[in-house]
Chains A and B, each alone.
Chain A
Amino acid sequence: MQQIINFFLRNKTFLLFLLLFSLAIVFTIQSHSFHKSRYINSANFLSGGVYSTVNDINTYFDLKEENLKLQAENNRLRDLVYNNNIKTNLAVDTTTKTNYKTIPALVIKNDYALNNNVLLINKGRQHHIKQDLAVVSPKGVVGITDRFNSKYTTVLSILNTNTLISAKLKKSNHFGTISWNTKSPKFVQLTEIPKIAQIKKGDTIVTSGRSAIFPSDILIGKVKSYQLDQAENFYTVEVELFNDMTSLDHVYIIDNKDKTQIENLLNNSNDQ
């Protein structure tokens, strides 16, 4: 017994080092797996507060540009309304039965130089945010919500090696999966597009709507280049994002009201 205690006393620095180092490694491993409970994240009072203060200052520098972006989006939506003869007055009528609910939010922390980039937005449980909701910007897909507290939520960016999004070619509806190879924040990779698909440079890639997270036909990007994979069965497509992921400000969170039902259905059919 005496010897054991002596051993601990003699090596206490090394043991402390080993303990803390392995703790840090455990945190790291958790951060490399999708939605694994992460104890250390920026969706908390302290970092949320610091980042919103910094963001309050930073927003002044690109007010003009942001306003132009929002105006362009308004313009596009008005075009849609007038051209499709939608008879509702958008400003008043909120009672229409819809499946999707959108929540506006501000990006207060944006990363794009790491391998697993995580954004922070200023909406949380108070604003009915849940895990696994779609986050989009006026120009296209941004990411998927992850951890949240009452006021802040972290978003797994599309530029995160753990984020996989189901996507399709807009013109031919061939499905594939979007992932990121960490090379450039401007490009993501679309894999598993069958060889039979007729693919051309400049084709538009949109979300497929196959998962309950993203509604279908949300813009992602356009085809920059493509090649057959090693087995020569599938294309690997380099997709240029419409979004400039390096400057994000206003985003929307999309909540699919049928999501729980869809997931229950899927889980039940898996069990049987």
Chain B
Amino acid sequence: MTNSLIKHPLRFILLVLFQVTIFNYVNFLGFINPYPYIIFIVLYPLRNNRNLFIFIAFLLGLSVDMFSDTGGIHAAASVFIAYIRPVISKFSFGALNEVYSIKFNNIEFLRRLTYVSLLVFTHHFVVFNLEVFNMSHILTSLKLTLFSGIFTIILILLITTIFSSSKK
């Protein structure tokens, strides 16, 4: 119990810090940045208190927004994926819906990939559309969603794999 009381706030702070100091400045090919801070939303153990989860997701997004002066785009996207996460996990895990009784990394790779990709692409789609804020540039934001999304998915899968194996 105490373990998770320390683990989640620490994960929150570290992810925001790494996002705003490193990942926001990758600028791969000039404009592609990953947003792996949503690992927090991907991994958060959702059992019953959905309201708390949605609120924490809002705070997570808002912290990233504060650092990068982007208004509220990350807050909006984070709240959105936090709200639809049960639907996505039901779709990707099917009968295995109670995924958090078992380890995230013990789930079949393809199911994990589906789950992460759906969350990431939804999040990035909201982020880039709100950033461009113009429906006539929807192709640009779709392009950014795709490139940035692939980058983020790879990073999230790598990070979750690395950190889980060390903890057994």
Contact = CB atoms under 8 A, between A and B. Distances in A.
A44 B66 contact: yes
A58 to B, nearest CB: 10
Nearest to B132: A115
A115 B140 CA distance: 12
Interface string A1-45: 000000000001110110011011111111110000010111010
Contacts of B72: 23-28, 31, 40
A44 B67 CA distance: 9
Contacts of B82: 17
Interface string B34-46: 0000000000000
Contact of A50 (B31, B67, B83): B67
Nearest to B53: A13
A40 B33 contact: no
Contact of A154 (B69, B71, B80): B69
Contact of A27 (B27, B68, B75, B83): B75
Nearest to B67: A47
Contacts of A24: 58, 61-62, 72-73, 75-76, 79
B17 to A, nearest CB: 7
Contacts, number: 103
A21 B54 CA distance: 10
Nearest to A27: B72
B70 A31 contact: yes
Q: Which one of A14, A17, A26 has the greatest number of beta carbons of chain B within 10 Å? A: A17
B111 interface: no
For chain B, which range describes its interface: under 10, 10 to 19, 20 to 34, or 35 or more residues? 20 to 34
Interface string B104-137: 0000000000000000000000000011110000
A132 B139 CA distance: 34
Interface residues of A, number: 38
A113 interface: yes
Contacts of A20: 54-55, 58, 75, 79
A66 interface: no
B76 A25 contact: yes
Contacts of A46: 66
B80 A31 contact: no
A47 B20 CA distance: 9
Interface in A100-136: 111-116, 118, 120
A207 B79 CA distance: 43
A17 B79 contact: yes
A47 B64 CA distance: 10
Nearest to B65: A40
Nearest to B57: A20
Nearest to A53: B21
Contacts of B33: 113
Contacts of B69: 31, 41-42, 111, 116, 118, 120, 154
B11 interface: no
A12 B50 CA distance: 10
A17 B65 contact: no
A30 B72 CA distance: 9
Contacts of A31: 69-72
A54 interface: yes
A13 B79 CA distance: 11
Nearest to B58: A20
B33 to A, nearest CB: 6
B136 to A, nearest CB: 13
Q: What are the 7 tightest A-B residue pairs by CB atom distance, in nearest-first order?
A: A31-B71, A27-B72, A24-B76, A24-B72, A118-B69, A24-B75, A28-B71
Interface of A: 12-14, 16-17, 20-21, 23-32, 38, 40-42, 44, 46-47, 50-51, 54, 111-116, 118, 120, 154, 184-185
17 contacts: A17-B54, A17-B80, A24-B58, A27-B65, A28-B71, A28-B76, A28-B133, A31-B69, A31-B72, A32-B133, A41-B66, A111-B68, A114-B68, A114-B70, A115-B131, A115-B132, A115-B133
